[in-house]
């Protein structure tokens, strides 16, 4: 009897947990970049490995980890996004324009990604973000993105 009560309590607790809704994959036309990311916010900075798959329109999947631990897994499809990992505790999914404060730079990154494949040295959307890009032979090596609110992402990709 006691074990049944414990199982029932565990089921109730788990049912109340918020979880992020999984979004379908991008498909074979997505461009994959593997490298390092330094994410800075407030007085904190996290450096880790990144796998970034993106489409020209800005939809993307991002996997950010440090020492094999998932820091953030993030997906956008149109105006919908989903995030899980240490940076979002219980996960979050919803409309990109409704992203909570800590996820706003990740939602805004969708606007910057199309410039990763262009040949411009920099781009910006005043009061939202500014970015600079370093390329060699047309291949993106580095992207530095500054967001409103003193948050930044510095991407480094291998050739």
Q: Specify if 2 maps to a domain.
A: no
In the predicted structure, residue 106 carries a pLDDT above the cut 90: yes
Q: Specify if 11 maps to a domain.
A: no
Q: Is this model's pTM higher than 0.95 or not? A: no
Interval 85-103: pLDDT, tens? 998 988 999 999 999 988 9
Distance CA 51, CA 39 (A): 14
Q: Specify if 9 maps to a domain.
A: no
Looking up residue 46, the CATH number of its domain turns out to be 2.50.20.10
Q: How many domains does the chain have?
A: 1
Q: Residue 138: which residues within 8 A CB-CB, separation 6 or more?
A: 119
Quote the tokens at residue 38: 């330094």
Angle at 34 between CA 127 and CA 146, to 5 degrees: 15
Distance CA 64, CA 69 (A): 9
Q: Specify if 138 maps to a domain.
A: yes
Distance CA 151, CA 146 (A): 6
Q: Specify if 126 maps to a domain.
A: yes
pLDDT category of residue 43 using cuts at 50, 70 and 90: confident
- pLDDT in the model for residue 52: 94
Q: Specify if 36 maps to a domain.
A: yes
Interval 120-151: pLDDT, tens? 999 999 999 999 999 999 899 999 999 998 89
Distance CA 122, CA 115 (A): 8
- Of residues 50 and 17, the one with the higher pLDDT is 50
- Of residues 22 and 124, the one with the higher pLDDT is 124
Q: Specify if 12 maps to a domain.
A: no
Q: Which residues span the domain enclosing 96?
A: 17-157
- pLDDT in the model for residue 19: 36
pLDDT category of residue 83 using cuts at 50, 70 and 90: very high
| Phi and psi angles of residue 26, each rounded to the nearest 5 degrees, phi first | -80, -25
Q: Specify if 5 maps to a domain.
A: no
């Amino acid at each position: 009897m006691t074990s049944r009560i414990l199982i029932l309590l565990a089921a109730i607790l788990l049912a109340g947990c918020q979880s992020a809704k999984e979004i379908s994959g991008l498909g074979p036309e997505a461009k994959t970049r593997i490298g390092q990311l330094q994410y800075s916010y407030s007085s904190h900075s996290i450096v880790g490995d990144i796998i970034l798959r993106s489409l020209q329109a800005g939809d993307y999947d991002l996997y950010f980890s440090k020492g094999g631990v998932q820091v953030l897994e993030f997906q956008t499809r149109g105006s919908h996004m989903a995030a899980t990992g240490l940076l979002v505790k219980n996960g979050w999914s919803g409309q990109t324009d409704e992203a909570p404060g800590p996820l706003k730079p990740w939602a805004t990154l969708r606007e910057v990604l199309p410039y990763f494949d262009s040949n411009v040295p920099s781009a910006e959307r005043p009061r939202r973000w500014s970015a600079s890009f370093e390329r060699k032979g047309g291949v993106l090596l580095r992207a530095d993105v500054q967001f409103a609110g003193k948050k930044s992402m510095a991407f480094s990709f291998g050739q």
